[in-house]
Structure 1
Amino acid sequence: MAPSTPPVSSRAPRSDGADTRARLLLAALRLFSERGFAQTPVRAIAQAAGTNVAAIAYHFGDKAGLYTATFHELLGSSHALIPHFSAPGLGLEEALRRYFEGFLEPLKHDDLGRQSLRLHMRELLEPTHVWPEVLERECRAPHQALARVLCRHLGVRRLDAEVHSLAFSIASLVMQMWTQRDALEAIAPALARPAAVNAWTRRLTGYALAMVQAEALRRQIVRPAARKRQKAPT
Structure 2
Amino acid sequence: MCPPEAFASSDLATIPPSLEPESFIPPTDISQSAYDLASSLLAPAILSHSIRTYLYAQTLAASSNSIYHADPAKRDLLFVACILHDIGTTETYNGPQRFEVEGGDAAVEHLSRFGVVEEDKKDVWTAIALHTCNGIVQRMGELPALVRKAIEIDFGRRSEVEGVEDLAELKERFERRFARQQIEKVLGDAVVAQAIKNPDKAPAASWPGGMYRAHLTDPDWKGVNKAF
Fold match, TM over 0.5?
no
Q: Which has the higher helix share?
A: 1
Larger radius of gyration: 1
* TM-score normalized by the length of structure 2: 0.32
